[in-house]
Structure 1
Amino acid sequence: MAIGLSTYSFFWRASERVTRPLDLPMMLQQTAELGAGVFQICDYKGLEALSPRALLELKHQADDLGLILELGTRGLETAHLRKYLDIARTLDVRLLRSMFNSNTHQPTLDEAVWLLETVMPSFVEQDVKLALETYEQVPTSRIMQAIERIDSPWLGICLDPGNCVAALEHPKDVIDMTASRVLNLHVKDFSFSRRDGWVGFTFAGCPMGEGLLDYDYMRGKVQPDHKHINQIIEHWLPWQLDAASTCAMEDQWTRHNLNYLNAKQSEE
């Protein structure tokens, strides 16, 4: 098991809202400097446009830095997932996170099972695991039904219990439902805060250990250390007053969360 960062850990620092956004090589370099062991390129704009040579350079950089690479995309369409398998082959990736939904289509349960049955032999042949993320647009029970109907060790869950709160699924219920099938963890803490005038709430991220995620419970149920499941840090950091303060806080949260997870790991 390794602790890593995602492109979502650099969400603002890599965005067009800053003067000099970080690119993938810069994010890999910072990930290694912070002592993380994994970098997940997740929903990253422009990845599919990279040339084979650029992908190889990225792989060589990761190798030199001692980083494991993972990939993340959206959707179950066969051609799309096979495209990502091609990228995974070049980058020597062994885990791809995806979601039921693409930007244009949400399949029914039967459609999802058919799509997965079509593509899973390619994942098995290439020895790449496919982890479907829990999130509010699709009930966790439906994702689990599809996974259980396929019943393959190469297909499982990317667990992010915070995503499901917006669908009124309790994080512990999501953890309990998926724990036996988890292949990847997205780790972020979250909390509700009253809006100005006490009119409604904001549901947003916060540093690990300061919010509503019962990390000890999730870790105990999933057992990432024993099952060799990588834990990938993400953030839900709202934009602050300006780019400088937002980027500084994002960096602060990343360092805090890495220290938090490393401390938890050392408790065993």
Structure 2
Amino acid sequence: MAKQNLPRSLSSSRRDRRDFLRSAGLGATALAMPFPVWQDFLRGASMGIVVHSYASRWHSKAGSQKFPAFTDAISLMEHCKSIGAGGIQVTVGGWSSDFGAKVRTKREELDMYLEGSIALPQDLGKVPDFEREVIIAKESGASILRTACLSGRRYTNFTSKEDFLMFKENAIRSIELAEPIMRKHKMKLAVENHKDWTAQELKQIIQSVGSEWVGVTLDFGNNVSFMENPMEVIQTLAPCAFSTHVKDMGVQNYSDGFLLSEVALGEGIVDLRTAVEICRKHNPAINFNLEMITRDPLEIPVLTESYWTTFEHLSGLDVCKMQRKLDENQFKGELPRVAGLSQEEQLAFEESNILECLQYSRESLKL
């Protein structure tokens, strides 16, 4: 395995897991502690955790003894509480009423908040299923449901402007179908900027829907992939934000553009303290949910013509300003990578990153 394919905390594939954890820094220190000490180490952190932060561990087939799979929201919640998180944001699709009641009981026992993640109804016939999930989520204790309009990435999903405009029309229709259900049950629907909408596009969509029950899940880093300055995105969307995905982003240039990766909080290009202040100014009760996805960097091919097929949101000056920002803030060292790691090493690296981010949130963001 080539050295460049390793996370920055791992210098040789021949290190065993104990050496890897020892070299992983803060997270490894916490993992090495006896459970009660580890819990005390992070006690007081109120930042929540998005299920996608545990992309490797969620329903994992690795059979790890050290990092057992999370099989449902309850096992995720119990672990997140044990490491000091204040709540979770998790998918509610497929829940039964009985399971929702169990989630509520566990949530109340652990004194944690719960945000759901839900798919939008694609047509009128899907509305009853959507409403059923909303009801179960509410009964389980959630008051906010995060959603996304696109599962992929705009610059790779669409090969023509016409295709994107058709998607946009359908997505708005889905939000409009969801709104009466949210209003009926007094639940908030929070649409994420999920590498689908520019900040201004999403703001305009929310304003056009014009409902107190429809707002935004403000992702701090996604729109870097659109060459948008993260602070401008946060300033644009914070006034209508119900929820957040807190992350920091590392960038490095490559031949067709730049590489983009979630990195430990405080190591990237997002001004996290200011972002938190802005969000709290507009919504003092907003939850801050960590979305630290441990994976290989994404390639953002901004130097190819196809990348710009659906975009008209930036002037040449805007692009130059953002490119200068990226050039001046190149990530030092190797961006995090999981390629070539064993399943056990991936799970350890993931946990280490999450623990480090929680510690940063306590010490530097006062969450």
Contact 2:242 2:283 survives alignment (8 Å): no
C-alpha spacing 1:124/1:146, structure 2 compared with 1 (3 Å): same
Equivalent in the alignment of 1:18: 62
d(CA) in 2 for partners of 1:49 and 1:220?
A: 36
What does the per-residue CA deviation read over 1:25-64, in whole Å, with 9 as the maximum and x for residues that have no partner? 221111111222211104xxxx533432223222212221
The residue that corresponds to 1:254 in the other structure is: 354
The CA distance in 2 between the partners of 1:156 and 1:225, in whole Å, is 12
Q: In the alignment, does 2:273 pair up with 1:216?
A: yes
CA distance in 2 between counterparts of 1:136 and 1:102 reads 9
Residues 1:5 and 2:49 are matched in the alignment: yes
Q: What whole-Å deviation, never above 9, does each CA across 1:193-242 have from its counterpart, x for those lacking one?
A: 356xx786431111000111111221222226962100001112122511
Normalized against structure 1, the TM-score is what? 0.85
Letter of the 1:222 counterpart: C
Alignment of 1:104-253 (within 5 A): 111-193=170-252, 201-223=258-280, 227-238=284-295, 239=338, 241-253=341-353
Report how far residue 136 of structure 1 moved.
1.8
Query: Are 2:199 and 2:233, in contact at CA under 8 Å, matched by a contact in 1?
Result: yes
Quick one: which amino acid aligns to residue 94 of structure 1?
A: S
Equivalence for 2:96: 51
Q: Hey, which of these two has a bigger chunk of strand by percent? A: 1
Distance in 1 separating the partners of 2:143 and 2:98? 20
Give the TM-score of the pair, scaled to structure 2. Answer: 0.63
Tell me, yes or no, if the aligned pair for 1:2 and 1:229 is still in contact at 8 Å. no
Q: In the alignment, is the contact (CA less than 8 A) between 2:60 and 2:70 conserved in 1?
A: no
- Distance (Å, rounded) in 1 between the aligned partners of 2:282 and 2:345: 35
Change (3 A) 1:49 1:117: closer
Partner of 1:88: 137
Distance 1:52 1:76, change over 3 A: closer
Distance in 2, matches of 1:192 and 1:209, equals 13
CA distance in 1, matches of 2:151, 2:283: 32
Aligned letter for 1:61? K
* Aligned-residue offset at 1:76: 5.0
Task: Indicate conservation of the 8 Å contact 1:76/1:112, yes or no.
Answer: no
Q: Percent identity between the aligned chains?
A: 21
Question: What CA deviation, in whole Å up to 9, does each residue of 1:161-214 have, x standing for no partner?
Answer: 31112222221221121121111110111212356xx78643111100011111
Counterparts of residues 70-85 of structure 1 (less than 5 Å): 70-77=115-122, 79=127, 81-85=130-134
- 2:95·2:133 contact (CA, 8 Å) conserved in 1? no
Distance in 1, matches of 2:280 and 2:113, equals 20
2:110 corresponding residue in structure 1 = 65
Q: Is the 8 A contact 2:49 2:87 kept in 1?
A: yes
The structure-2 alpha-carbon separation of the partners of 1:116 and 1:262, relative to structure 1 and needing over 3 Å to count, comes to: same
Cα-Cα RMSD:
2.9
The answer to whether the 8 A contact 1:14-1:21 is kept is yes
Deviation by residue 1:139-168 (Cα, 9 ceiling, x = unmatched): 232221121122222211111131112222
Match for 2:289: what amino acid? I
Q: Deviations over 1:79-101 (max 9, x none)?
A: 25424312313312100011223
Structure 1 residues 27, 72: CA separation in 2 closer, same or farther (over 3 Å shift)?
same
1:38 equivalent to 2:138? Answer no
Cα 1:88–1:15 change in 2 (3 A) is closer
Q: Which has the larger radius of gyration?
A: 2
What is the match of residue 314 of structure 2? none
Distance 1:211 1:52 in 2: 41
SS at match of 2:288: strand
- State the alpha-carbon separation in 1 of the partners of residues 279 and 167 from structure 2: 28
Unmatched tracts of structure 2, length 5 or more: 1-44, 158-162, 296-337
The DSSP-based 3-state class of the residue aligned with 2:364 is helix
**Distance of 1:86 and 1:114 partners within structure 2:** 21
Structure-2 separation of matches of 1:161 and 1:6: 13
- Count of equivalent residues: 261
Cα distance between partner residues in 2 of 1:108 and 1:160 = 21
Rate the CA distance shift 1:30–1:185 in 2: closer, same or farther, 3 A.
same
Counterpart secondary structure, 2:76: helix
